Structure 1
Amino acid sequence: MSARSSAEVGMTVVHRRYVPYSHAHYAGNLVDGAYSLGLFGDIATEMCIRTDGDEGLFASYSDVQFRAPVRAGDVLEISCELVRVGTRSRVMEFVVRVVARGAATEESPGAAAVLAEPIVATTATGTVVVPG
């Protein structure tokens, strides 16, 4: 870990991820909500590495909202913004947006389309702690 943190409010990290069909958990190729939470853990880890030179540990969520479904075949954009910096704590806001969605049919089983407007699927606020 560096002697001094570079954590600054407003810093952001963005990931993109394709959701494979092997992750479909429910009818209609729906993916469970825990999938988004796992993505939030991944992006929080990168944020902590960038700001503190350590992976950090997720301590809690103060809010999680499942706003729209995530489906197998989706392309997701996951964003994380650092909103508060404490001595060892980092409060982050997370968003999962669907930016492309599968549009498979029997005639075109691999069809998909980029969405004109991303769909906000999941939002959360979480706290991560880093070594002091």
Structure 2
Amino acid sequence: MSLTEGSATEGSATEGFSVTHRRYVPHAHAHYGGALVDGAYSLGLFGDVATELLIRTDGDEGLFAAYSSVEFLAPVRAGDVIEATATLVRVGTRSREIDFEARVVCRSAPDRGPSAADVLDPPVVVTRARGTVVAPKR
């Protein structure tokens, strides 16, 4: 699932433009006790959502250059539905600074049954980051 906000057209990188992806976290990604998933899972989602953002604003996938900050705020577990949002916060000649946020919007509830789950309202913010991507010269 992909949602976009703002008003960017290809070749028009606009501050405030955002893209959101949602994904179910499969049990195959649990690496630790308690069905915990490693923090790199969120960073992988950030790479995917940044790629779509650059395609929409620059007509190219671009390259991820660096993270300037990453905060792991809460656990991600197998059975979660997680959404990752990338919001364009600065547009340079070729660089784009992006704020990222990952939120758990649904969480499994194994105490109620093997397939039970809850919608989290409000969602739980699990990871925040800021990163820089580079778009090629046009």
> Fold-level match, TM-score > 0.5?
yes
Alignment partners' CA distance in 2, 1:38 and 1:16: 13
Is the aligned partner of 1:46 residue 2:52?
Answer: yes
Gaps of 5+ in 2: 1-9
TM-score, normalised to structure 2, is 0.90
What is aligned with 1:19? 25
What is aligned with 1:122? 127
Gaps of 5+ in 1: none
Higher relative contact order (CA 8 A, sep 6+): 1
Shift of 1:108: 1.5
| Structure showing the higher strand proportion among its residues | 2
Shift of 1:81: 0.3
- Helix, strand or coil at the partner of 2:70: strand
What is aligned with 2:35? 29
Alignment partners' CA distance in 1, 2:128 and 2:134: 20
> Which consecutive segments of 4 or more residues in structure 1 shift more than 6 A?
none
Alignment partners' CA distance in 1, 2:99 and 2:41: 17
Shift of 1:54: 0.4
Shift of 1:5: 2.4
RMSD of equivalent CA atoms? 1.1
TM-score, normalised to structure 1, is 0.94
Alignment partners' CA distance in 2, 1:52 and 1:80: 15
